[in-house]
Amino acid sequence: MTKNWPDLIQQNIQPPETVDEAIARLMVVLEDDHKTAIASMQEDDLIGLHFGLGSAIRNAFELHEPDSKLLASCGVEHPDDAAGTIIQVLWRTLQP
């Protein structure tokens, strides 16, 4: 029963609609060591997260959906740019 629990939860959670909601969600799901690693990065190096964390954000938060409220909240038109915006705000949030 618990084997399918994560899938059930994932299927029934609505994607965040604002950048603030996305950051709040990431703060819950990211492990502390991941938060520490992101916080310790230089801002110019965040592009290195494009294929890993960025891909996870694009997929989990449904940024490819044409009517994505989160995409609109990011103020950009492309899911890659929206994921970049979210990562940048996450990085700023994690700064001491």
Sign, Cα dihedral of 9, 76, 34, 51: positive
Reported as a pLDDT band with limits 50, 70 and 90, residue 2 is: very low
* Mean pLDDT along residues 11-36: 90
User: Is-contact 94 87, C-beta < 8 A?
Assistant: no
Does residue 9 carry a pLDDT above 70? no
**Cα 33 to Cα 54: distance, rounded to the nearest angstrom:** 17
Q: Helix (H, G, I), strand (E, B), or coil: what is residue 35?
A: helix
Does residue 10 carry a pLDDT above 90? no
